[in-house]
Amino acid sequence: MTEHLEPGSIQSAGASPAVAEELLGVIQGVEGVSAVYPAQPLWQSIAGAAMAAVTGEILPLVSVTGDGDALAVKARIGVGTLRPAPSVAREVAGAVRTHLLPRDAAVEVYVVKVGP
């Protein structure tokens, strides 16, 4: 099951943590986004889940990897019911790419919950 976490933890490997923090704000600012979930689900990261359980550390909400010229961004979102989920996901991806210009970015947006 996906657990909703409050903003605050951001993963950034090879990219500035400030970039990931900015992107979290960009994602949350898109109309229709109701929540942002950890970039990697617990079941996909047994080691990460174990470490988080021991340290109390919150798993990253936005994953940003790569160098300054080309970045890879991964986000998992919840959307409300007023707008189609695919439209919201496309808008999130577009907003992230626009924010990162002139850098190239491969953006993955997963809708993991639809509802209020």
Q: Which domains does the chain have, with CATH numbers?
A: 11-114 (3.30.70.1350)
- Contact indicator for 41, 49 with CB cutoff of 8 Å: no
What token pair was written down for 92? 């999130």
Q: Strand 70-79 and strand 62-66: pairing?
A: antiparallel
Global pTM reads 0.77
63 strand-pairing partners: 11, 74
- Per-residue pLDDT in tens (0 to 9) along the chain, 116 residues: 444 444 443 344 456 678 888 999 999 999 999 999 988 776 666 666 677 778 876 667 899 999 768 899 999 999 999 999 999 999 999 999 999 999 999 999 999 999 98
- How far lies 17's CA from each of 6, 8, 20, 81, 84, in Å? 17, 11, 5, 32, 31
